[in-house]
Copies of this chain bind each other. A is one copy, B any other.
Amino acid sequence: MDSQRADQMFDVPLPEAPTDASSDTYETRRDHILRSATLVFAQHGYEKASMRAIAKAADMSLAGLYHYFDRKEQLLFVMQFRVFSSLLASLQERLVGVEEPRDRLCTMIRAHITYFAEHMAELKVCSHELDSLEGETYEQAREIRLAYYTLTREIIAMIIKENPPEYPLDIHVATMSLFGTLNWLYRWWNPTGPTSPKAIATQITNQFLAGICAPAASHAH
């Protein structure tokens, strides 16, 4: 399931798949629009972002925008699908050859934060507008998010299996704790600010690893 298939699934009402020479400029134009829309979504939120504002950001007319995307929802869906797909693909790629579970977690966190640093607006929208899609498009976005979750959960499960903590630890809760920390980043962290992506990734990894492998720090009664 790649982004190509998802786009076409959504593009059924379009006349035909653009071919050869024209395809180049067509896809380029789509990418440009998508990037503009993402910036507007990130700044004002999906609901408040108007198609007119998106058209203006993409430097084209309102009706011209509709030539490339049938509905506003399609802009959000295609964007989310591409981001989640490339996030997942990039992670799987980086995990190749990394066997040690703790190294795999380190890789996952670093990959996620690196991606975030390079696509701030995209990840902000993906974190904040999870429920803005409905019906079929929501389910499709959900599926690929689930794959990302499952992959991360399995890494965490392996770490715990090799190094069980001394207090009862629910793996789902642990996984969602990590995602909470990561997905909240868009609220406060500026990758170009004083705290570098590498520093953030290192500290979050250290904290999380120590948190789920703790020898006997149990304190809650």
A interface with B by C-beta (< 8 Å): 45, 47-48, 102, 106, 110, 128, 130-132, 165, 167-170, 172-174, 176-177, 179-185, 187-189, 195, 199-215, 217-221
Contacts and interface: CB of A to CB of B under 8 A. Distances in A.
Nearest to A178: B181
Contacts of A202: 167, 220
B185 A180 contact: yes
B174 A45 contact: no
18 contacts: A47-B48, A128-B128, A169-B203, A172-B195, A173-B204, A176-B189, A177-B203, A177-B204, A179-B184, A180-B181, A201-B220, A206-B214, A206-B217, A207-B212, A209-B214, A209-B217, A210-B211, A214-B217
A201 B167 CA distance: 13
A177 B207 contact: yes
Contact of A182 (B173, B174, B179, B180): B180
A180 B189 CA distance: 11
B169 A188 contact: no
The A interface, classified by DSSP as helix, strand, loop or mixed, is: helix
Nearest to A48: B47
Contact of A106 (B48, B174, B176, B219): B219
The 3 closest A-B pairs by CB, nearest first: A180-B184, A210-B214, A211-B211
A129 to B, nearest CB: 9
Given A219-B102, A219-B209, A195 B173 contact: yes
Nearest to A180: B184
A195 B220 CA distance: 16
